[in-house]
Amino acid sequence: MELKDFGMRLAMLREAKCVSARKMSLALGMDANYVNKIERGKAFPSMVALFDICDFLTISQKDFFDEGNRYPDHINELIEDYKELEDKSQSLVSELAKELPRRKKSRR
């Protein structure tokens, strides 16, 4: 992932949490402009800082780099809820999930 893309991904995930760059920087124990520098493509975080960023966003590092996943915390919550369903309910949810994209395409 390029520096610019990394910053854009961080901004998207942070904004999805409705948190300012300043507030996130301070919560990470960094100076107030830390997250802003990363988002503007001026610096990569250290490996330790990346782990802290992901903890703050309540996502895994894998989720951070999965650019196709706009809301990883929602997906993770859905997966946990799905695991608690009975087999029949899991099947129904799976069928519904497969049907939704088809309906969206047919409306175009």
Instruction: Determine the pLDDT at residue 76.
Output: 85
Instruction: Determine the pLDDT at residue 69.
Output: 84
Report yes or no: 31 and 25 within 8 Å, Cβ to Cβ.
yes
Report yes or no: 1 and 39 within 8 Å, Cβ to Cβ.
no
Instruction: Determine the pLDDT at residue 10.
Output: 96
**Regions of the chain with pLDDT less than 50:** none
CATH of domain 3-65: 1.10.260.40
Instruction: Determine the pLDDT at residue 104.
Output: 59
Question: What are the domain boundaries of the chain?
Answer: 3-65, 72-106
pLDDT tens, position by position, 40-51 = 999 999 999 999
- The pTM assigned to this predicted structure is 0.73
Instruction: Determine the pLDDT at residue 108.
Output: 54
Question: For tokens 């069928």, what's the residue?
Answer: 95
Which ranges of 2-108 does DSSP label H, i.e. alpha helix? Answer: 3-16, 21-27, 34-39, 47-57, 61-65, 72-83, 87-106
